[in-house]
Every structure is written in structure tokens, then in C-alpha cells.
């Protein structure tokens, strides 16, 4: 298991030199953030990013994420040019040593939360999703949630939501299949493994189709183009926000197939109605048993990349919600501690196929 840490470039208040001091963290997960969605990432920018990361004594082998343009998801005539650009981004990433590319196929936005800073009883702050609040929103009257307004003006958001009214789940699956048949052969040739991130949260919202929510969806995804390059970014927090998803079982099944190149390790405290908040990583803090999840990764002889996903904001830290240094660092050390104990004291098992 290769422990990594997400970094948002030089504008990130979390410095690479601080990340380097976290025991067991050797890899950085990053991306190019100043190129418009759908355009080609210049090779020199990727090389500069790699050089900066390696110069800090870390490795750059995972990109998160290459965004998928909405025209591809909507199946518009412009998608072929945009897919060609995505293909070139895969090649350019491979040219600088990237081995895994994370992406998603969520309509409009890649996550939804109702609170950026819910205060927990211990005084820390975290991301939260209130199912009742989301259910009460009428998209026709406008949506005002953290993260949404930053990407679209109200009239633009209404336009793209209206376009999706004509797109059901099966049509979105068809557009995904078209996309996968175009990019997976390129990834194979480049030696890159693609990791689809599941829907976050894993349920329909605002009438938008959501197609990567559970075990059956994940199986349909990996069988759609049956290649080791067509894999999953298994996010425990995203999938775990639906209590029907058994994360250990998913790790056993898809890890046993060799289809998890990248894992997000996040704990969530989930209520029956789907309301949840992102807790500390420890098993006793949330609804997920992180020790059992790590044990499942061990059982399938996982040797890919993981990162401590979102963390709380603790010790007075400010900055990008979910992406402070301190709690994610605690999470990385905790997860590495679990992994060390498991690898030392749990007998090796034959990985399931």
C-alpha cells in the first residue's frame, strides 16, 4: 500500500515540505488546475509539477483528477474533440511518470455538501450533507449550496440542469460507454490505470442521473470495457454514505479482480435517511470500520495507492474545507499504523479472483 496525500499546487496553504514530514507519506496526488476543463494539459506544466514534487523528496504517480467535460457526459457533437483532448492528457500524464488517473462521471459537479463547516462536539469543523435540506430544494427556484455557485452563475446552472432533464441513467451509461471505449485503449498503450470515482453522495440529487452508486454499478463499469486499465477509485466515504454499501466486501471483490488502482480512505457518520458528516478516520468516530477495510485491502494483496481523504479542520486551522494539513496527517499516520499491524500480525491469505 502506497500512502499518498493530495496537494493543490503552489496556491495550497499546505506546503509540500510539511507533507514530507508525515511519517509514511511518500506520494503526492495532484493535477493541473489552471487549464480550462476539456483542454489539453501542456506537457511542460506537468513536467514542472513533477519536478516540484520530486524536488521536495516526494513522488508524483497519481493524478486527481482530469475533469470530464459536460459535453461528453451529455453526448453532444463536440464530445469527440474533447475526448481526443482527454486522450492526450492521459498520454501527457504518462510521459511524466503518472501511473494512475482518477476521474468521475458525475453530472454537473463532483460532490455535494450542505455545510462546509459543521461544528462537532469536540470543537472541530467538518463537511456535512443534510438529506432533508437537499430534498426540500426545488432546482427550478435555484440551488444555493457550498461549491455549486463557484462553478456556475445561476442562469448557467439552470441551463445545464435543464439539459440533463433529457438524460436518464441509461443514456448517461451509453455516453460513459462511448467515452470508455475511446480512452481505455489509450490508457492501456500509455501504461496508465484509470480509476473512476463513485458518485458523492451515491444517490440521485436534483433530478440528475447518478450511475456509480453501488456494487452493481461498479461491476457494470468494469465489465463495460473489460481491461485492467479500466478501474475504480474506491472511495470509502462516498460509497459509505449509503449504509447498504459494504465497503469491505467491495474491496474484496474489486480488489480481488485487480480493479482498484487507487483508494480514498475516509470515514463518515451516517444516519438512516442518508444525512452524514465526515468524521475523523478512526473506526470509533464514524459508521465505517477502517480496520476491517484495511484488512480487506491486505487480504487482496493490494499494492496500489491510497490517501487519507477529507479531514476535519482542527487546532484552529483554516483553508480549503476538508483539505487541512493536521487531520489528514493524523489520518495518514493512523491508517499506516493499522496497515503495519495487519501486515505483521495477520496471516497472508490467497487473494480472491
Instruction: Kindly list the catalytic residues.
Output: 197, 235, 264, 309-310, 323
Cβ proximity of 246 and 208 under 8 Å: no
Cβ-based neighbour number of residue 214 at 10 Å: 17
Cβ proximity of 63 and 31 under 8 Å: yes
DSSP label at residue 114? S
Phi, psi (rounded to 5 degrees) for 220? -60, -40
CA distance 219 to 233: 13
Q: Is 186 exposed, middle or buried, given 0-12, 13-18 or 19+ CB atoms closer than 10 A?
A: buried
CA distance 155 to 166: 18
User: And the C-alpha cell for 324?
Assistant: 487541512
CA distance 328 to 25: 11
Q: Strands of 115-119's sheet, edge to edge?
A: 115-119, 125-129, 276-278, 268-270
Amino acid at each position: 500500500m502506497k500512502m499518498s496525500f493530495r496537494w493543490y499546487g503552489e496556491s495550497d496553504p499546505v506546503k509540500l515540505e510539511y507533507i514530507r514530514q508525515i511519517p509514511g507519506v511518500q506520494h503526492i496526488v495532484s493535477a493541473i488546475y489552471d487549464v480550462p476543463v476539456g483542454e489539453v494539459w501542456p506537457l511542460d506544466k506537468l513536467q514542472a509539477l513533477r519536478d516540484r514534487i520530486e524536488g521536495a523528496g516526494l513522488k508524483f504517480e497519481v493524478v486527481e483528477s482530469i475533469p470530464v467535460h459536460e459535453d461528453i457526459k451529455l453526448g453532444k457533437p463536440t464530445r469527440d474533440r474533447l475526448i481526443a483532448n482527454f486522450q492526450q492528457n492521459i498520454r501527457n500524464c504518462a510521459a511524466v511518470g503518472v501511473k494512475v488517473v482518477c476521474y468521475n462521471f458525475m453530472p454537473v459537479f463532483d460532490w455535494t455538501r450542505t455545510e462546509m463547516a459543521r461544528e462537532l462536539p469536540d470543537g472541530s469543523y467538518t463537511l456535512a450533507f443534510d438529506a432533508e435540506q437537499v430534498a426540500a430544494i426545488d432546482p427550478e427556484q435555484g440551488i444555493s449550496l457550498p461549491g455549486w455557485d463557484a462553478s456556475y452563475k445561476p442562469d448557467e446552472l439552470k441551463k445545464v440542469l435543464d439539459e440533463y432533464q433529457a438524460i436518464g441513467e441509461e443514456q448517461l451509461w451509453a455516453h460513459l460507454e462511448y467515452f470508455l471505449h475511446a480512452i481505455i485503449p489509450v490508457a492501456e498503450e500509455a501504461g496508465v490505470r484509470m480509476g473512476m470515482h463513485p458518485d458523492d453522495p451515491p444517490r440521485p440529487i436534483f433530478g440528475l442521473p447518478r450511475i456509480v452508486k453501488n456494487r452493481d454499478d461498479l461491476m457494470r463499469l468494469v465489465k463495460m470495457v473489460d481491461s485492467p486499465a479500466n478501474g475504480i477509485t474506491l472511495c470509502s466515504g462516498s460509497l459509505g454514505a449509503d449504509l447498504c454499501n459494504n465497503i469491505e466486501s467491495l474491496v474484496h471483490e474489486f480488489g480481488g479482480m485487480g480493479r482498484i488502482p487507487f483508494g480514498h480512505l475516509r470515514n463518515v457518520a451516517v444516519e438512516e435517511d442518508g444525512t452524514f458528516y465526515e468524521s475523523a478516520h478512526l473506526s470509533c468516530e464514524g459508521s465505517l470500520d477502517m480496520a476491517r477495510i484495511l484488512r480487506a485491502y491486505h487480504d487482496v494483496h493490494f499494492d496500489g495507492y491510497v490517501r487519507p481523504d477529507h479531514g476535519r479542520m482542527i487546532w484552529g486551522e483554516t483553508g480549503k474545507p476538508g483539505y487541512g494539513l493536521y487531520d489528514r496527517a493524523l489520518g495518514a499516520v493512523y491508517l499506516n499504523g493499522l496497515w503495519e499491524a495487519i501486515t505483521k500480525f495477520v496471516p497472508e491469505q490467497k487473494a480472491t479472483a
